[in-house]
Amino acid sequence: MIKVLTLSRSFGKFIPIGKEILQKNGFRLIFPPEDLNLQDEKSVSDLIKKSNFDAIIAGATKVTPMIIDACKMLRIISKHGVGVDNIDVNYATQKNVAITYSPNSNIESVAELTVGLILNLSRKISESCLSLKSGKWEILLGQEILGKTIGIIGTGKIGKSVIKKLGCFSVKILANDIVKDREIEKLKYIKFVGINDIFSNSDYVSLHIPLSEGTYKLVGEDKLNLMKPSAYLINTSRGAIVDEKALYDVLASKRIAGAALDVWGSEPPALVSKKIAKLDNVLPTPHIGAYTKEALYCTGFECATAIVDFFNNKKPKYLINPEILKAL
């Protein structure tokens, strides 16, 4: 029987479709112990060595060469999500291990969260809610986003969806990406500019770029110091894109108005991440961008289907490293 280890705590937990697909097709799905630290490389490696697996479902755990080598029978790593920056794709490819992901699963869920965070920051919704629950009756002054300038860094599928959603709010959009999207470039309320222009001129700056060597700590002291004192930063992409020490400094000193953060340098937040989350001008959420019924159904379906297809000698729909098929 083909054994599948899930390193994603959410796989099959809220929406069972992925688990049902694997079990229906005769796969044995194994969940790690609840007390296992999935961020500890050695603990995960030791678990794998005790009972070898043919496939791994990856969540946020870093799938390193040590983990890949520990799994002697490993044939495929299926990411239960979009980003594969936590998987050593090059090493897996060298070992002829297939890598799949779910690129379209959470576009709308992350885009909707982003817009929700912008509105929440603007109208101080969470602050007002917590204030009233604590027994106070205080009126917190917010602002409308009508006529404001919103900077979107990254106009891929999620960034593009955010831009379209914001269009009905009569805002101005400044956008930046390596490649200009011709469809959204035609919109009257959008203008492509340099990245520094976005930080200098936006009332809200929202990040929608993948984590890579080129984007690691891209948003550092230099970029943050360009922002208006009244401006907000929103990050629903990857925590490591922002230099958290620099972000803490500008937030703690109130050099910018605040931030809404769904992603962190360490998850759960620790060290600098935890200090940022406690600031009174920060709206923190625990990486919930993909946590909707619809997104989890799509992710679970695509993740499980990729594994089933692979072991039935079919090319998975979203295979990142198709070159390994020649060696199989």
pLDDT 10s digit of each residue in the chain, 328 long? 999 999 999 999 999 999 999 999 999 999 999 999 999 999 999 999 988 899 999 999 999 999 999 999 999 999 999 999 999 999 999 999 999 999 999 999 999 999 999 999 999 999 999 999 999 999 999 999 999 999 999 999 999 999 999 999 999 999 999 998 889 999 999 999 999 999 999 999 999 999 999 999 999 999 999 999 999 999 999 999 999 999 999 999 999 999 999 999 999 999 999 999 999 999 999 999 999 999 999 999 999 999 999 999 999 999 999 999 887 6
Residues 198 and 59 in one domain: no
Question: 257: domain range?
Answer: 107-284
- Domains identified in the chain, total number: 2
Residues 152 and 266 in one domain: yes
Residues 50 and 157 in one domain: no
Residues 74 and 181 in one domain: no
Residues 73 and 178 in one domain: no
Report d(CA 293, CA 101) in Å as an integer. 18
H/E run at residue 191: strand 190-192
Residues 180 and 298 in one domain: no
Residues classed as catalytic: 238, 267, 287
Residues 55 and 195 in one domain: no
H/E run at residue 153: strand 149-153
Domain CATH code at residue 308: 3.40.50.720
Residues 265 and 299 in one domain: no
What 3-state DSSP class applies to 307? helix
SS3 assignment for 19-84:
HHHHHHCCCEEECCCCCCCCCCHHHHHHHHHHCCCCEEEECCCCECHHHHHHCCCCCEEEECCCCC
Stated pTM of the model = 0.93
Residues 147 and 41 in one domain: no
Residues 260 and 314 in one domain: no
Residues 123 and 183 in one domain: yes
Residues 321 and 199 in one domain: no
